[in-house]
């Protein structure tokens, strides 16, 4: 029997700031807090998979060393987003003293923007009450959903999507560690499908590497619910040139041949419009249409009919009436 392979996002999860890539300004600010041994409450905002949890764990490792585990509590707010979680779990943990010779422990609250406003107010009081024994690190996608009184009690850090260079660096590190061959095309493809989300980048790489130890572009598109950008671009170009039948053929290939969901295709259409060689005005019209069809799909309309209708519309935009 083949032993289940470890998940790479965990295996290669950085434990020290030096091991993280990107987010350099954030990391150096955090390092200063640690050197001065004065950590305020922190608010980490940003998209998924860019190092928020990683940074919190690195802080725990830096502060507590081997004794980090009992002094670090990670809670996922959206599992139990009610006021009761804050009242019970957080309070129970916050009121006991740190284990070992540390001034405080850390509570990491993931998805804290999913907390109801009541729960956030309860959290605010808890933060105040236990400031002597506990530091909070709140993570969220949108800081705007965090109530003002919490924001004003935290140092705010805005995490960004990771740039190409940093994702490449990490992918190469993993390829070395796993003795994989990773073609330059494959790296490009991973960057395209992951859009700066390192978790996604690593997961796609691992999924592709199951098929073959030499990972190429083809393998990446096979394991990700994303079409080659070229394919989407061709479909659009055909539609715009009034070649409706051919454009429709491409669409069927993406939906049936590649097994993509209609919404995934639409997201890529949206992305590719910007790359088309068209006057600004035409791009605007196309974007407007994409918005309309996105809405229709979300309302549950038949995706094939809607996407075909969209291609038909594109034909009208591309080839104005004589």
Ligand X SMILES: Nc1ncnc2c1ncn2[C@@H]1O[C@H](COP(=O)(O)OP(=O)(O)OP(=O)(O)O)[C@@H](O)[C@H]1O
Contact positions toward Mg ion, by CB under 5 A? 53
Q: Report the nearest approach of Mg ion to the CB of residue 47 (Å).
A: 11
Q: Name the segment binding ligand X (CB under 6 A); options: 42-50, 62-70, 243-251, 300-308.
A: 42-50
Residues 6+ apart with CB under 8 A from 268: 226, 227, 229, 232
User: Which residue from 204, 267, 257 is spatially nearest to 232, judged by alpha carbons?
Assistant: 267
Q: Report the nearest approach of Mg ion to the CB of residue 53 (Å).
A: 3
**In angstroms, rounded to a whole number, what is the distance separating the alpha carbons of residues 282 and 207?**
38
Task: Between 23 and 71, name the residue whose CB sits nearer to ligand X.
Answer: 23
Task: Between 53 and 306, name the residue whose CB sits nearer to Mg ion.
Answer: 53
DSSP state of 5: P
Question: From the list 189, 202, 247, 269, which residue makes contact with ligand X (rule: CB under 6 A)?
Answer: 202
User: Which residue from 216, 308, 317, 301 is spatially nearest to 265, judged by alpha carbons?
Assistant: 308
20 binds ligand X per the rule CB under 6 A: yes
Question: Using DSSP, how many helices (H) and how many strands (E) does the chain show?
Answer: 16, 7
115 binds ligand X per the rule CB under 6 A: no
Q: Name the segment binding ligand X (CB under 6 A); options: 33-41, 51-59, 123-131, 147-155.
A: 51-59
Q: Report the nearest approach of ligand X to the CB of residue 139 (Å).
A: 6
Question: From the list 14, 67, 149, 229, which residue makes contact with ligand X (rule: CB under 6 A)?
Answer: 14
The answer to whether the Cα torsion of 48, 268, 228, 188 is positive or negative is negative
The answer to whether the Cα torsion of 274, 278, 280, 282 is positive or negative is negative
Q: Which does 21 bind (CB under 5 to 8 A by kind): Mg ion, ligand X, none?
A: ligand X
Q: Which does 310 bind (CB under 5 to 8 A by kind): ligand X, Mg ion, none?
A: none
**In angstroms, rounded to a whole number, what is the distance separating the alpha carbons of residues 189 and 230?**
11
Which residues form the interface with ligand X (CB under 6 A)?
Answer: 9, 12-14, 20-23, 48-54, 110, 162, 170, 198-199, 202
């Amino acid at each position: 029997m083949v032993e289940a392979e470890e998940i790479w996002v965990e295996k290669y999860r950085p434990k020290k700031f030096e091991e993280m890539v990107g987010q350099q300004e954030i990391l150096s600010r955090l390092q200063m807090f640690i050197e001065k041994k004065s950590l305020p409450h922190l608010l980490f905002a940003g998209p998924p998979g860019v190092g928020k949890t990683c940074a919190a764990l690195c802080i725990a490792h830096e502060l507590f060393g081997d004794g980090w585990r009992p002094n670090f509590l990670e809670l996922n707010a959206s599992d139990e987003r009610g006021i009761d979680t804050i009242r019970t779990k957080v309070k129970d943990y916050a009121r006991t003293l740190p284990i070992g010779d540390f001034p405080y422990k850390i509570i990491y609250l993931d998805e804290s923007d999913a907390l109801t406003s009541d729960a956030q107010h309860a959290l605010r009081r808890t933060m105040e009450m236990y400031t002597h024994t506990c530091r909070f690190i709140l993570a969220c996608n949108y800081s705007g959903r965090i109530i003002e009184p919490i924001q004003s009690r935290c140092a705010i850090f805005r995490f960004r999507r990771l740039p190409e260079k940093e994702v490449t660096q990490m992918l190469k590190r993993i390829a070395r560690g796993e003795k994989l061959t990773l073609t330059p095309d494959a790296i490009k493809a991973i960057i395209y499908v992951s859009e700066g989300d390192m978790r996604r980048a690593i997961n796609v790489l691992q999924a592709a590497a199951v098929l073959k130890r030499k990972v190429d572009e083809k393998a990446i598109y096979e394991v990700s619910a994303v079409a080659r950008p070229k394919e989407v671009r061709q479909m659009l170009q055909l539609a715009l040139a009034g070649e409706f039948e051919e454009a429709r053929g491409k669409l069927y290939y993406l939906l049936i041949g590649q097994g993509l969901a209609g919404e995934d295709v639409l997201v890529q259409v949206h992305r590719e419009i910007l790359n088309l060689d068209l006057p600004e005005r035409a791009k605007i019209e196309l974007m407007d249409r994409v918005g309309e069809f996105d809405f229709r799909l979300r309302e549950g309309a038949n995706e094939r009919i809607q996407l075909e209708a969209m291609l038909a519309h594109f034909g009208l935009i591309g080839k104005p009436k004589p």
